[in-house]
Amino acid sequence: MKKTTIIFHPKYFEVYASDPAAAQGRLDGAYKLLQTKGYEFIEPEIAQEDDILLVHTKAHFERIASKSSHLLTLSLLSAGGAICASEMAMSGTFSFGLIRPPGHHASADSCWGFCFFNNIAVAIKKLLNENKIKNALIVDFDLHFGDGTNGIFLNEDRVVYHHMDSITSLENFLNSTDNVDIVGVSAGFDRYINDWGGLLTLEDYKRLGEILGMFASHHANGRIFSVLEGGYNHRELGDCIYSYLTGLEQAIN
Ligand SMILES: [Zn+2]
């Protein structure tokens, strides 16, 4: 069975801020589990300032840069991870960006919620700008609404942003959605039963993968990439990701 490629850089282990997404050890368990399961890992390139300016103002870029060079490097590397994941999807490889900092609360000129640059928005906008795609669907199943992503694409007809309310509502939405050139997924796992949301089980994450994989398979030429957003249970984040990827891979193959 075709497996997902994990986009990861060792610097993502580094603590770049004092928030829950940046906490020491947050990605360690997920990294180890996905390695144990035999996934291939590749290291992304760092994003360029021009990539960030596709969706953010110069003033926002400079505000992040002025906080610390370490934070800027990690933020650029996270956006680079999303770009890499999207490019792999374009070439027919399933990809998951095990990246941080997250991005969906980063707007054009501001940010909050442990986010600095909007990773998934940068990746999608770059594909559009390079005429590699004509349109895209972004599905966000994090516990929190991705106000940054939503705002960035509010006046952009080529990109639909959809935040999941429930798995049933997502199925209904996808059943009424037209074909797109690529699906990007803001994969936050803070709805997990043992995380902040206390809502979704591992079976639910597998089902989410199946639903999104089926849609991508039939309506997006199999092009789908996912990037990590929230998810704060250090011990079980890997199980959530693995369940999601298992569903995705089964649906697409
Ligand atoms: Zn969240």
Whether 248 has a pLDDT exceeding 80, the answer reads yes
Q: Judge whether residue 252 has pLDDT over 90.
A: no
**DSSP label at 17?**
S
- Tell me the angle at which helices 119-129 and 69-90 cross, rounded to the nearest 10 degrees: 50
SS in 3 state form for 116-148? Answer: CCCHHHHHHHHHHHCCCCCCEEEEECCCCCCHH
pLDDT digits (tens, 9 = 90+) for 198-237: 999 999 999 999 999 999 999 999 999 999 999 999 999 9
Range of the structural domain that residue 126 is part of = 5-252
Q: For 14-49, what is each residue's pLDDT tens digit? A: 999 999 999 999 999 999 999 999 999 999 999 999
| Ligand 1 mean position, distance from CA 166 (Å) | 15
Distances from the Cα of 110 to the Cαs of 71, 103, 160, 172, 214, in angstroms?
15, 11, 21, 33, 35
Length of the chain measured in residues: 253
Cα angle value 175/130/88 (rounded, 5°): 60
The answer to whether the CB of 15 falls within 8 A of the CB of 94 is no
| Residue 241 in this model has a pLDDT that exceeds 70 | yes
Place of tokens 């990773």: 119
For residue 63, the CA-to-ligand 1 centroid distance in Å is: 23
- Answering whether pTM is above 0.75, one says yes
What does the pLDDT read at residue 3?
A: 87
The pLDDT value recorded for residue 1 is 55
81-122 pLDDT, tens digit each:
999 999 999 998 999 999 999 999 999 999 999 999 999 999
Whether residue 2 is predicted with pLDDT greater than 80 in this model: the reply is no
Per-residue model confidence (pLDDT) at position 253: 63
Please indicate whether residue 162 is annotated as part of the active site. no
The pLDDT of residue 181:
98
Q: Write down the catalytic residue from 60, 105, 162, 163.
A: 105
CB 182 within 8 A of CB 219: no
Ligand 1 centre distance from Cα of residue 87 (Å): 25
Residue 223 Cα to ligand 1 midpoint, Å, equals: 24
pLDDT tens column, 135-191: 999 999 999 999 999 999 999 999 999 999 999 999 999 999 999 999 999 999 999
Minimal CA–CA distance to 136: which of 95, 171, 76, 184? Answer: 184
Give the Å distance between the CA of 40 and the centre of ligand 1: 27
The count of domains in the chain is: 1
Q: What angle do CA 29, 30, 31 make, to 5 degrees?
A: 90
Instruction: Give the DSSP H/E element, type plus range, for residue 64.
Output: helix 58-67
**What one-character-per-residue DSSP string does 174-237 give?**
HHT----S-EEEEE--TTBTTSSS--B-HHHHHHHHHHHHHHHHHHSTT-EEEEE-----TTTH
How far apart are the CA of 191 and the centre of ligand 1, in A?
8
CATH (domain of 75): 3.40.800.20
List CB contacts of 27: < 8 A, sequence separation 6 or more.
12, 13, 98, 100, 237
**CA 142 to ligand 1 center in whole angstroms:** 5
Gap from CA of 180 to ligand 1 centroid (Å)? 26
- Which pLDDT value is given to residue 223? 97
Say if residues 186 and 104 touch (Cβ distance below 8 Å). yes
Provide φ and ψ at 225, rounded to 5°.
-135, 150
